[in-house]
């Protein structure tokens, strides 16, 4: 660990704040000696555990978890032309076993279509096998050439959830895309992360997809972060990998497929959206410790206070909360600072005077202070945890809303972008107009056909040509 001197940079200096916070709050260590590979500290990994458990729980409602190999033989990897074009510059190859060159080069999966689909070809036989909905949570490798960043752009994505579904018809696959989007919304909502859903422009879709729907969050500096994508694969891959099923009339049909991915960018968004100048702010659902008990034991009531604090810890733990009693020999102020940095939602202060009054002072990480009854502490804590979740949600929603800016003229675009906003324009979805918008701004069309409660004018006149257009996000993305 670097020496713990100086202060966390202000969040207004977002990049510095983010990088500094990752080690100060013990989330990631960036000192691993391979570029783009980072190490989870136990505290960061504990946050990951709660976030990914939630994702598993949501997926397990109608998917099944599975696990495929990391290595993909070259000939499988090279089967789908668009997929190769999209990924060939990003693939790591295993070429040797010991000192012996391999007969068949092996790709480290950058994503697992070409590992999974040859097996799906064996598994899918008849319409009765469909739909098939499997997912895995694995590491994937991408030789990223844009600037690598912990949690945001990795060369080893350590926490890649990829879902791969197979359906009889194109329409059923489309319905699955909508289902995965609803699931993603529920997932992020549980962590108070506002998302914007949009359709990637055709030239930006996943290699081998009919279309790609992206989920974006607006980061503190106004850049967007793509924190999930759902792809309708149509029959691109089923053609290549011969994934066919026998329909009710005994005829062989090509299957339709979807895939869907979420990575530790979800945790980057969580940290970035909610944190403040003092450090992390974790919504209770993601917090390894939801409440920390700080006994104030100055004077001779030490024993009484400690006994009450221990009982409080026991009661709250029994009620299902993740609680920690901090008995370290440190000044209370130093403990406050420590737990604030780590984003613990509630601090429960218990001193002799509180004890006499039969209460605990509860201080939320968002700055509210109020007493609760000691005798009914689990109820009180439950209420305040609900309150802080709502406070965190409101802050994140305000941030997102205030970083969207409607723009009606080409000339207005740069002003909005320079002010750190994501521009909302109307665009006819014509490539020429898209190019004109991107050239004008040095930013990208992030997605069109936008779905967001923050954007109401879903249709209007194309900012470039004046024809009918759909609400479209233009911004700078990570
Ligand atoms: N097979 C499909 C699901 C797929 O690979 N889609 S994807 O390429 O769009 O990746 C899914 C998600 O992973 C992206 O939306 C993005 O949130 C995340 N992701 C992609 N590359 C990443 C990287 N280098 N580091 C961290 N996250 C990444
Ligand atoms: Zn146009």
DSSP one-letter string for 263-285: -THHHHHHHHHH-BTTB----GG
Output the CA 452–ligand 1 centroid distance in Å. 21
The per-residue pLDDT for 4 is: 54
Atom from ligand 1 closest to the CA of residue 227: 17
Q: How many CB atoms lie within 10 A of CB 457?
A: 12
- pLDDT band (50, 70, 90) for residue 6: confident
- Would you place residue 298 in the very low, low, confident or very high pLDDT band (cuts 50, 70, 90)? confident
Residue 300 has pLDDT above 90, yes or no: no
Q: What is the DSSP letter of 202?
A: G
Give the pTM.
Answer: 0.96
Domain at 14-274, CATH from 3.40.309.10, 1.20.1090.10, 3.30.70.270, 3.30.930.10: 3.30.930.10
Residue 163 CA, closest ligand 1 atom number: 3
Per-residue pLDDT, averaged over 285-295, amounts to 98
**Mean pLDDT of the region 385-411:** 97
User: Which residues line the pocket of ligand 1, CB cutoff 6 A?
Assistant: 111, 113, 142, 144, 153-154, 157, 162, 206, 226-229, 231, 259-261, 263, 265
- Give the mean model confidence (pLDDT) for residues 44-52: 98
Q: Which ligand is nearest to the CA of 477?
A: 1
Predicted confidence band of residue 205 (pLDDT cuts 50, 70, 90): very high
What digits encode the pLDDT tens for the residues 451-468? 999 999 999 999 999 999
Work out the pLDDT band at 196, boundaries 50, 70, 90. very high
Question: Is residue 319 predicted with pLDDT exceeding 80?
Answer: yes
Q: Whose CA is nearest to atom 23 of ligand 1?
A: 153
Closest by CA to 219, choosing from 197, 201, 196, 186, is 196
Query: Quick one: average pLDDT of 279-302?
Result: 94
Residues of the chain within CATH 3.40.50.800 domain(s) are: 289-384
Mean pLDDT of 191-204: 97
Give the number of whichever ligand sits closest to the CA of residue 144.
1
Confidence bin at 213 (pLDDT 50/70/90): very high
End-to-end CA distance of the chain: 27
Among the atoms of ligand 1, which is closest to the Cα of residue 226?
Answer: 17
* Cα of 162 from ligand 1 centre, angstroms: 9
Q: What is the architecture of the domain spanning 289-384?
A: 3-Layer(aba) Sandwich (3.40)
- Output the DSSP codes for 350-377: E-HHHHHHTEEEEEETTS-EEEEESTTH
Q: Which of 106-110, 233-237, 264-268, 438-442 has the lowest mean pLDDT?
A: 438-442
Q: How many angstroms separate the alpha carbon of residue 472 from the centre of ligand 1?
A: 21
Q: Choose the weakest-confidence range: 2-11, 126-135, 211-220.
A: 2-11
pLDDT at 221 > cutoff 70: yes
Q: How far is the CA of 263 from the centre of ligand 1 (A)?
A: 6
- Lookup: tokens for 294: 């700080």
Q: Which of 261, 262, 269 to mutate to test the pocket of ligand 1 (most atoms within 8 A of CB)?
A: 261
The CATH number of the structural domain formed by 404-475 is 3.30.110.30
- Ligand 1 centre to CA of 142 (Å) is 10
pLDDT in tens, 75-108: 999 998 888 889 999 999 999 999 999 999 999 9
Tokens read off for 254? 């090509």
Q: Does 1 have pLDDT greater than 90?
A: no
Q: Is residue 2 pLDDT above 50, yes or no?
A: no
pLDDT at residue number 156: 98
Which atom from ligand 1 is nearest to the alpha carbon of 144? 24
Answer whether 198's CB lies under 8 Å from 214's CB.
yes
| Residue owning the nearest CA to atom 11 of ligand 1 | 261
E strands along 75-188, which residues? 93-97, 100-108, 132-141, 156-167
Angle at 267 between CA 230 and CA 271, to 5 degrees: 135
pLDDT band at 377 (very low <50, low <70, confident <90, very high): very high
User: Can you give the pLDDT at residue 297?
Assistant: 85
- Mean pLDDT computed over 264-270: 98
Closest ligand relative to 428 C-alpha = 2
């Amino acid at each position: 660990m670097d020496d713990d001197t100086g202060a966390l940079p202000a969040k207004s200096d977002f990049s510095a704040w983010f990088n500094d916070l990752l080690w100060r709050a013990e989330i990631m260590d960036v000192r691993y000696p391979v570029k783009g590979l980072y190490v989870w500290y136990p505290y960061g990994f504990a946050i990951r555990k709660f976030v990914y458990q939630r994702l598993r729980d949501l997926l397990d409602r109608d998917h099944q978890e599975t696990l495929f190999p990391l290595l993909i033989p070259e000939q499988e990897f090279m089967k789908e032309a668009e997929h190769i074009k999209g990924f060939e510059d990003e693939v790591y190859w295993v070429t040797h076993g010991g000192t012996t060159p391999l007969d068949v080069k092996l790709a480290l999966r950058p994503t697992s279509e070409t590992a999974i689909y040859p097996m799906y070809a064996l598994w899918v036989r008849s319409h009765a096998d469909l739909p098939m909905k499997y997912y895995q949570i694995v590491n994937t490798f991408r030789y990223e050439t844009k600037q690598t960043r912990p949690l945001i752009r990795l060369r080893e994505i350590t926490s890649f959830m990829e879902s791969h579904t197979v359906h009889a018809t194109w329409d059923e696959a489309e319905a699955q895309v909508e289902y995965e989007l609803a699931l993603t919304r529920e997932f992020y909502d549980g962590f108070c992360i506002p998302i914007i859903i949009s359709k990637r422009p055709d030239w930006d879709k996943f290699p081998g997809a009919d279309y790609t729907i992206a989920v974006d969050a607006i980061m503190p500096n106004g850049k967007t972060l793509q924190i999930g994508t759902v792809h309708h694969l149509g029959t691109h891959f089923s053609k290549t990998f011969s994934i066919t099923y026998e329909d009710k009339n005994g005829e062989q049909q090509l299957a339709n497929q979807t895939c869907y991915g979420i990575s530790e960018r979800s945790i980057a968004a969580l940290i970035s959206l909610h944190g403040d100048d003092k450090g992390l702010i974790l919504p209770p659902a993601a917090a390894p410790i939801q409440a920390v008990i700080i006994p104030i034991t100055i004077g001779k009531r030490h024993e009484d206070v400690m006994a009450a604090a221990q009982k409080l810890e026991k009661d709250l733990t029994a009620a299902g909360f993740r609680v920690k009693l901090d008995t370290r020999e440190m000044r209370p102020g130093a403990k406050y600072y420590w737990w604030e940095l780590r984003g613990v939602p509630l601090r429960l202060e218990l001193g002799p005077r509180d004890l006499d009054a039969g209460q605990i002072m509860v201080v939320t990480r968002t700055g509210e202070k109020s007493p609760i009854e000691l005798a009914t502490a689990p109820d009180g804590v439950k209420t305040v945890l609900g309150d802080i979740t709502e406070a965190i949600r409101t802050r994140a929603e305000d941030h997102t809303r205030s970083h969207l800016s409607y723009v009606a003229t080409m000339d207005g675009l740069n002003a909005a972008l320079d002010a750190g906003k994501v521009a909302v324009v109307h665009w006819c979805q014509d490539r020429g107009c898209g190019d004109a918008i991107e050239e004008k701004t040095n930013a990208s069309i992030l997605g069109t056909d936008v779905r967001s409660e923050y954007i109401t004018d879903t249709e209007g006149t194309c900012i470039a040509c004046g024809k009918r257009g759909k609400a479209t996000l233009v911004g700078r993305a990570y």
